[in-house]
Chain A
Amino acid sequence: DGGITQSPKYLFRKEGQNVTLSCEQNLNHDAMYWYRQDPGQGLRLIYYSQIVNDFQKGDIAEGYSVSREKKESFPLTVTSAQKNPTAFYLCASSILAGSTYEQYFGPGTRLTVT
């Protein structure tokens, strides 16, 4: 059963704590992405990675960190430096070949920080 899995579905943390969100894909996709979704603001890109051990900042990378040690995994850490971390976080992946830009999304993780 191919796809993108994100865990957990809901996550609660106290302010000041770092938290890591998991993203795994078995689609053999080269690229992976993290987006943040807030009401009325669409999806905003946090980080992306085209190959293992390489990643680039997106539009709102401050307060976040990522790693890409394996092709199928792209965990996101929300650090205590992120001023407003409560949001719905979405992971996506895509092939990097030819002219296709199709991105496939996971089910998301809703993070609540109090």
Chain B
Amino acid sequence: QQQVKQSPQSLIVQKGGISIINCAYENTAFDYFPWYQQFPGKGPALLIAIRPDVSEKKEGRFTISFNKSAKQFSLHIMDSQPGDSATYFCAASGLTGANNLFFGTGTRLTVIP
């Protein structure tokens, strides 16, 4: 059973456009929501993360929006560039003390020039 649901599965965006990836979760015990970026053949790299005490976090062109009541969070990539083309995973943690992360199924982003 998928603890974190992610959409869309794939996304094509024009260079300079905004890429938006959405995630939803059910368990209200989650209190940490990271996003990872993965290039083909590489391990995922932590991109940005948020906790439920804030509704938005911005780092450069990357913004997480968090809606606690709806149990949803999303990643916005502003001014998308071809170098942003990668697979993005959302995740959630906080159920146990073991720092276990529950991952979404990933979104393959393609930014076309």
Contacts and interface: CB of A to CB of B under 8 A. Distances in A.
Interface string A49-63: 010000010100000
Interface stretch (A13-21, A65-73, A77-85, A97-105): A97-105
B27 interface: no
B89 A105 contact: no
Contact of B32 (A41, A45, A101, A110): A101
Interface residues of B, number: 26
A4 B43 CA distance: 10
A50 to B, nearest CB: 6
B108 to A, nearest CB: 10
A104 B34 CA distance: 12
B105 A103 contact: no
Interface residues of A, number: 28
Interface string B36-51: 1000011111100101
B87 to A, nearest CB: 9
Given A42-B104, A102-B49, A108 B32 contact: no
Which among A40, A90, A102, A106 has the greatest number of chain B C-beta atoms within 10 A?
A102
Given A43-B101, A105-B45, A108-B43, 4 more contacts: A41-B105, A102-B34, A103-B99, A105-B43
Interface of B: 6, 9, 31-32, 34, 36, 41-46, 49, 51, 89, 93-94, 97-101, 103-106
